[in-house]
Structure 1
């Protein structure tokens, strides 16, 4: 069994926290804090719930360090990262890993027929690998599509961040 045969749907978080694009950075930060998460998907409105962007902890640090206090009340749609980088629910874990590597991102929105189906993070993928050690051999194979030095760096960050906080 390889990463190309594992559906991304088996790894995703389906209970994705969202925020309306008209809310502000304070509302967004509260959702993150209340749910102990590192990102929130921005939706167009609470009726259709179409995903239009994402805001991450890193974005918030950047925003807070460069804006004045009055600017922090602007709608999140003006601050979010967009367009969203997405994959279909039919994609594989390997597809997600390659996309994350190519786009230099840590999370991918998963769509189920153009609606929000879930989110997968690099943490979710590394947790899958650590729980299925036979998959690690596929990742360290010489023909793996992501350069080994980049994988080692990601593995190190994952390993130390997870063992340090436990």
Structure 2
């Protein structure tokens, strides 16, 4: 069973952040520049929220406008669901499915150490399944371990 720490070993520990007062335009530019779907909103060392592309789209659909000077704290999600490096990828998939979210900040002893996305988790789960299939095929055909 793979853990969040396995993803972070390969992916790295970079987390792209903005402050709560960052204008939406600047946050959108950062999303594009870093080619990511979400930014963690931090106030010093504290997680204040998370801002995703979905949040911006939903605000535009609701209000009918996109005020680019709006500070991100006005549309970020404040209740951020986190995981630890020791949690399984099955735990992550369950959380993401139940809560309908795509990004999980990773905290270790209260300190931010990374962020995993649904894409990261699915990639690892598929790779694990492919290895299991290969091993089973080898066992069935008698070529296992050759």
- TM-score bucket (shorter structure): 0.7 to 0.9
Q: 1:8, CA displacement in angstroms? A: 0.7
> Higher Cα Rg: structure 1 or 2?
2
Q: Secondary structure at the match of 2:83?
A: strand
Q: 1:113, CA displacement in angstroms? A: 1.5
Task: Show the 5 A alignment for 1:43-58.
Answer: 43-44=42-43, 48-58=44-54
Task: Show the 5 A alignment for 1:78-157.
Answer: 78-132=74-128, 133-134=130-131
TM-score by length of 2: 0.78
Return closer, same or farther for 1:135/1:22 CA change in 2, 3 Å cut-off: farther
| Corresponding pairs, count | 129
TM-score by length of 1: 0.69
Task: List alignment gaps of at least 5 residues for structure 2.
Answer: 134-146
CA contact (8 A) 1:39 1:57 kept: yes
Q: 1:135, CA displacement in angstroms? A: 5.3
CA contact (8 A) 1:20 1:42 kept: yes
Return closer, same or farther for 1:49/1:135 CA change in 2, 3 Å cut-off: farther
Task: List alignment gaps of at least 5 residues for structure 1.
Answer: 137-166
Q: Secondary structure at the match of 2:45?
A: coil
Q: 1:82, CA displacement in angstroms? A: 1.6
Distance 1:101 1:130 in 2: 16
CA contact (8 A) 1:106 1:122 kept: yes
Q: 1:72, CA displacement in angstroms? A: 3.3
Q: Which residue of 2 aligns with 1:9?
A: 5
Q: Which residue of 1 aligns with 2:39?
A: 40
Return closer, same or farther for 1:123/1:40 CA change in 2, 3 Å cut-off: same
CA contact (8 A) 1:85 1:108 kept: yes
Q: 1:131, CA displacement in angstroms? A: 2.5
Distance 1:104 1:135 in 2: 28
